[in-house]
Amino acid sequence: MQCDFFLGATSLILDGDASILSLQQVCINGEEISGDTKMQVEQDKLTIHNVTEPAEIRITTRFNAKENTELAGLYKSGDNFCTQCEAEGFRRITYFPDRPDVMSTYTTTIHADREKFPVMLSNGNLVSKQKVSSKDSSMHSATWHDPWPKPSYLFALVAGNLTATRDTFCTQSGKNVDLVIWTDPHNAHLTAHAMYSLQRAMKWDEDRFGLEYDLDLFNIVAVDDFNMGAMENKSLNVFNSRLVLASPDTATDLSYEQIESVVGHEYFHNWTGNRITCRDWFQLSLKEGLTVFRDQEFTMDLHSRPVARINDVRNLRSRQFAEDKSGMSHPVRPISYEKIDNFYTATIYEKGAEVIRMYYTLLGKEKFRKAIDLYFERHDGQACTTDDFFAVMSEVSSVPLDGFERWYTQAGTPVLKASSEYLKDTQQLRLSLQQVLPTPPEAHPVEHMGPQFIPVSTGLLDDNGNDLPLTSYSYQEDSGQTITTTVDQGTTTAVLPFKAFSGEFLINNVPQKPAAVSLLRDFSAPVVLHYNQTAEELQHLAKHDSNPFNRYESTQKLARLAISASYYQESNHATTFNEALATTHGNALEREDNSKTVTKLDPAAVAQMLSLPSIEELGPLLIQDITDSPKDPLLDPLLLNGVRTQAIQTTAEAIENDLLQTFNATTEALHQLEYEPHGVQTGLRSLKGQIINRLVALDEHKHANRAHAMFETATNMTERMMALTALSHSTSNYRTDALDQFYQRWRTEQLNVIAWLGVQARSEVVNNVSKVRALLSHESFDMRTPNKVYALIGGFSTSPANFHAADGSGYEFLADSVLAVDQINPQVSARLLGPFTTANNYQPLYRDGMVQQLLRLERASLSGNASEIVGKALR
């Protein structure tokens, strides 16, 4: 390869992992070198002395890709070879300056057996492919050249017996791009959705960001063994097969949605990640946060914006807010790490995307586009920092962005405290705001914590539920000066720029006391909002808020208040909020008179309103406190799970008839439709799934048969899995029957088997740990396949009742599993350890149980990946 790496010194130091590589030969300008005076090989590097530029350095290494179970570098998945080089996998292939700011052009020649490896791929364009000339040779070779300079983490190579699904895309400038999806031959019929998603992504990036693809060929390869979701290697994306392959019988609606979004995500990286890459791995969010933002917008533009926003916020709260409350808490731009593989986190990805979304909210759509255009104009071809991105945003923004940069450097979720008062005499609404920042984690100290710039999208509702028009707002600066900002005529949402630790906004010309204030519309900042609202106000907002996100949020808030009141045994409050919640759920199920639609509102939104916050969402909120005064900052997970289940039951009981009616109506409506993984029918299915879960949770004796019938009559994987999930938590015989039937019918489909393992792992049935342990030796399970490990072991840790079992059996199971997986694949074992990193949030019974297992793990000789997480969990 052509590597324009500036040597600067006479010794060239190249990264390399001697645990896998065996160095065969080093030649400089055609001459082999050897001996300590010429070069030194150490565990993690090769130093070549006295190199004078320019030089041609030829390095030959050997390694056993078949035994590379870490799935980093070049490895075998099934009968095929493939690579994974992000973040530091290239150094497991050869010695190289394996860092993102060294950008080189690559020419790759692959030699392989013709029969076993008919397909040989690498980045860029195919230059030549030929049989090896000697008559009796079974070998052939292919040479690829990628004209775009790139860092080593974007290198890729694939060889195997793969089948191509081909299509094309004509770019905005009229160039035809060949699109190819490569799969194992028996899966080729499952690629249509991924191909269509790719074409839509290419079109969307042109329409929305003016970005065109820059080569004539784009390949996607689906592999069964992959540590993560997918990888954006230049022109040769490698995907976990679960994010490519789909048919109505093997994929749920959610899988279809994820395929579209991840195909988009990897494609969008071509500009945000590949053309402009990261200077170092501390800047990882520069490419990941921005690309997640882009894939979120892609989903929003293609489907329902509010439904997508709600899903994104749910995900953020349950994963990233929890991470902020764990030993893994770190800022969007971390300042230290032991293993970069451990930092592909919800903070880098999802919080990173929220940071980009705040720029978007503050600049507005047009200016944001202008700023992004400037980013590409200024930095194309460079390895950049988040400061470079901040600089272009600041330059274009009409709002000064002081304090915004702290979103990158300060870890944790800010608490935004709000109170409001109507000033009748002056016809103003006073909104007092305060931000409370968490103490920085030990590993990421910050000398002077400053206030973060929080955009607070705000609207006011009158008694009839209509938005009050807004005209202007005033803010008193620290200097004492009052600044008044006029908002555009007709505006009913104002983005209040809050950048102090505390301050007051006065919303002017408010003719009457608002019936309710709608704060943080569309979740305009990744904060926990404390704002005292009565059950009536929340019900009013849930029914009328013009902002669909806040309609959902008000229902969620009622649920949070109901659950927290039960948790703290405040029975009066619990009754009030549970009743209000049931009424709100009943209202959401309302159906238009004489209408054929199942619900007045979008059924997908109704399903979201009906769903209660997950345990993962509730945990950090409870200890952070929902009600402004945590009674006990340490969590009892079993109690929390119990009161959550009770809330599900109490509210379901109050509206059982409505639930049944809607269940039947969705069944009827779906019966008329042929399965499609999009449109209104996906909403109908998610509503149906939500309801069947509620009903079985309410009374399994009464409703398990309904779930079983749903399972048996399902014509698609979505409804089958929904029914199976509802049954999985019950103790009825229907459960075992459905699980057995499912396995017998789908045992040859890998994706279905993975779903089958997962649904059993997540079951809340008492003492499920023994069943899950038994599944470790089931014929379908393989500890070397990450998808199966995540489904079974990772899935188990999400069952509160079993993971937190009072006898410690759940913790012991996780530790045993980590020890076994760590021998095979450290990236995967490190991921499995996630649930232990919140140990310090729990009451002593639970915390001590986790700590006992963590100490046991600490004494074992773990991989560097796993021991970093164990160390942080014990802190």
Q: Which does 312 bind (CB under 5 to 8 A by kind): Zn ion, ligand 0A1, none?
A: none
Closest distance to Zn ion from the beta carbon of 795 (Å)? 24
> How many CB atoms within 10 Å of residue 109?
13
Closest distance to Zn ion from the beta carbon of 263 (Å)? 12
The residue with tokens 């390949």 is 219
* Beta pairing partners, 219: 180, 236
Which among 540, 486, 535 is positioned nearest to 508, based on CA atoms? 486
Over the window 501 to 530, marking each residue x when it contacts ligand 0A1 by CB under 6 A and - when it does not, the resulting string is ------------------------------
Decide whether 277 or 667 has the Cβ nearer to Zn ion: 277
Decide whether 341 or 553 has the Cβ nearer to ligand 0A1: 341
Phi-psi label, residue 679: left if phi above 0, alpha if psi -120 to 50, beta otherwise: left
Site for ligand 0A1, residues 219 to 248, rule: CB under 6 A: 227-232
Distance (Å, rounded) from C-alpha 343 to C-alpha 330? 9
Query: Which one of the spans 84-92, 709-717, 776-784, 793-801 is the region binding ligand 0A1 (CB under 6 A)?
Result: 84-92
The H-or-E segment that residue 540 falls in is helix 535-544
Tell which one of 15, 70, 184, 288 touches ligand 0A1 (CB under 6 A): 288
* 168 CB-contact burial (10 Å; exposed 0-12 / middle 13-18 / buried 19+): exposed
Contact 796, 762 (CB under 8 A): yes
> Which residues make up the interface to Zn ion (CB under 5 A)?
288, 291
Q: Is residue 323 flagged as an active site residue?
A: no
Over the window 465 to 494, marking each residue x when it contacts ligand 0A1 by CB under 6 A and - when it does not, the resulting string is ------------------------------
Closest distance to ligand 0A1 from the beta carbon of 284 (Å)? 9
Decide whether 80 or 227 has the Cβ nearer to ligand 0A1: 227
Closest distance to Zn ion from the beta carbon of 510 (Å)? 44
Distance (Å, rounded) from C-alpha 48 to C-alpha 36? 9
Q: Does 266 bind ligand 0A1 (CB under 6 A)?
A: yes
Structure tokens at 664: 């039947």
Q: Does 272 bind ligand 0A1 (CB under 6 A)?
A: no
Q: Which does 84 bind (CB under 5 to 8 A by kind): Zn ion, ligand 0A1, none?
A: ligand 0A1
Which among 666, 659, 668, 740 is positioned nearest to 697, based on CA atoms? 659
Binding-site size, ligand 0A1 (CB under 6 A)? 15
The rounded Cα 628 to chain-centroid distance in angstroms is: 29
- Cis omega (within 30 of 0) for bond into 87: yes
Which among 469, 480, 542 is positioned nearest to 512, based on CA atoms? 469
Structure tokens at 596: 């054929």
Site for ligand 0A1, residues 309 to 368, rule: CB under 6 A: 341, 344
Site for ligand 0A1, residues 170 to 229, rule: CB under 6 A: 227-229
Closest distance to Zn ion from the beta carbon of 401 (Å)? 25
What sign does the CA torsion over 566, 570, 571, 573 have? negative
Looking at 257, 266, 297, 719, which residue is catalytic? 266
Q: Which does 209 bind (CB under 5 to 8 A by kind): ligand 0A1, Zn ion, none?
A: none
Q: Which does 231 bind (CB under 5 to 8 A by kind): Zn ion, ligand 0A1, none?
A: ligand 0A1
Question: Cα dist. 826→155, 231, 720, 840 in Å?
Answer: 22, 19, 34, 24
Decide whether 232 or 658 has the Cβ nearer to ligand 0A1: 232
Query: Which one of the spans 80-88, 275-283, 497-505, 658-666 is the region binding ligand 0A1 (CB under 6 A)?
Result: 80-88
Distance (Å, rounded) from C-alpha 625 to C-alpha 563? 12
Decide whether 291 or 304 has the Cβ nearer to ligand 0A1: 291
Phi-psi label, residue 73: left if phi above 0, alpha if psi -120 to 50, beta otherwise: left
Closest distance to ligand 0A1 from the beta carbon of 770 (Å)? 33
Pair type for strands 217-223 and 415-423: unpaired
Q: Does 86 bind ligand 0A1 (CB under 6 A)?
A: yes
Closest distance to ligand 0A1 from the beta carbon of 85 (Å)? 8
Query: Which one of the spans 83-91, 127-135, 374-382, 520-528 is the region binding ligand 0A1 (CB under 6 A)?
Result: 83-91
Decide whether 44 or 740 has the Cβ nearer to ligand 0A1: 44
Closest distance to ligand 0A1 from the beta carbon of 329 (Å)? 20
User: 576-610 b/e with 16+ CB inside 10 Å = b?
Assistant: bbbbbbbbbbebbbebeeeeeebbebbbbbbbbbb
Tell which one of 77, 80, 84, 413 touches ligand 0A1 (CB under 6 A): 84
* Beta pairing partners, 218: 179
Q: Which does 611 bind (CB under 5 to 8 A by kind): ligand 0A1, Zn ion, none?
A: none
Residue type, 790: Y
The residue with tokens 């008919």 is 118
Structure tokens at 671: 């019966």
Tell me the HSE value of 603 on the side-chain side, using a 13 A CA sphere.
Answer: 27
Decide whether 291 or 718 has the Cβ nearer to Zn ion: 291
Site for ligand 0A1, residues 819 to 848, rule: CB under 6 A: 827
At residue 560, the 3 state secondary structure works out as helix
Q: Does 531 bind ligand 0A1 (CB under 6 A)?
A: no
Residue type, 364: G
Which among 10, 65, 78 is positioned nearest to 39, based on CA atoms? 10
Decide whether 87 or 757 has the Cβ nearer to ligand 0A1: 87
Closest distance to ligand 0A1 from the beta carbon of 74 (Å)? 14
- Cis omega (within 30 of 0) for bond into 54: yes
Q: Which residues bind ligand 0A1 (CB under 6 A)?
A: 84, 86-87, 227-232, 265-266, 288, 341, 344, 827
Which residues are designated catalytic?
A: 266
